[in-house]
Chains A and B, each alone.
Chain A
Amino acid sequence: ETGVTQSPTHLIKTRGQQVTLRCSSQSGHNTVSWYQQALGQGPQFIFQYYREEENGRGNFPPRFSGLQFPNYSSELNVNALELDDSALYLCASSPGTSLETQYFGPGTRLLVL
């Protein structure tokens, strides 16, 4: 186990709704990254948070937003859900923003109907 936890494990929403996913980083890690993994594909980078600030972003629209808290836990928020948002959402923590290994949590499976 990596020590990275995510909640909830599963979630069902309808199109147009909003969702918040949560992640607790591994002890000692100040950087959290979020990834989206569609079925049968590799994870896609959404964004990264370092010391409560967004430190980089992939090719995702602004309706994907995030937060990081002083204890380095993080939230991913998705507004105006679309059917294509159905995926496994993965959180990964690392001890910094240089070339550090990222350790993944178990993910949250989101289904949008």
Chain B
Amino acid sequence: GESVGLHLPTLSVQEGDNSIINCAYSNSASDYFIWYKQESGKGPQFIIDIRSNMDKRQGQRVTVLLNKTVKHLSLQIAATQPGDSAVYFCAENRVNNNAGNMLTFGGGTRLMVKP
């Protein structure tokens, strides 16, 4: 079935190192992808997005890469800080005649930053 999933459930990095969180998707018709960060007890927070006509997009300390050939998405965080510790979700956003503009989330990756 259609799914958005993540390779690693937990990622532990040293403060100051770069982090890479990966995500695989199975629906080649996906149009738009978003990375969200969710801290304990809070709702998902938008980090960065990318449309299917792009392969790279950069934000402040974050970069998203999209490889449509292998249906793979990654989030790179530069100089990881303790405040980056959270669960990260990739989400697929596709206009669906039956379900409107729905997001399909993966199971999440927990990023732990060691001081």
Q: What is the CA–CA distance of A41 and B32 in the complex, to the nearest angstrom?
A: 21
Size bin of chain B's contact surface: 20 to 34
Partner of A42, one of B45, B99, B102, B108: B108
Q: Is the CB of A48 within 8 A of B49?
A: no
Please give me the residue from chain B that is nearest to A49 by CB atom: B100
Q: Is the CB of A33 within 8 A of B102?
A: yes
Q: Is the CB of B43 within 8 A of A106?
A: yes
Q: Is the CB of A45 within 8 A of B43?
A: no
Known: A42-B107, A99-B31. A58 touches B46 (CB 8 A): no
A contacts, CB < 8 Å to B: 2, 4, 31, 33, 35, 41-45, 47-48, 50, 55-58, 90, 92, 94, 96-107
B contacts, CB < 8 Å to A: 31-32, 34, 36, 41-46, 49, 51, 89, 91, 93-96, 98-108
Given contacts A41-B107, A106-B41, 12 further A-B contacts (CB under 8 A): A4-B43, A31-B101, A33-B100, A48-B101, A57-B98, A58-B102, A97-B101, A99-B94, A100-B101, A104-B45, A106-B42, A106-B43
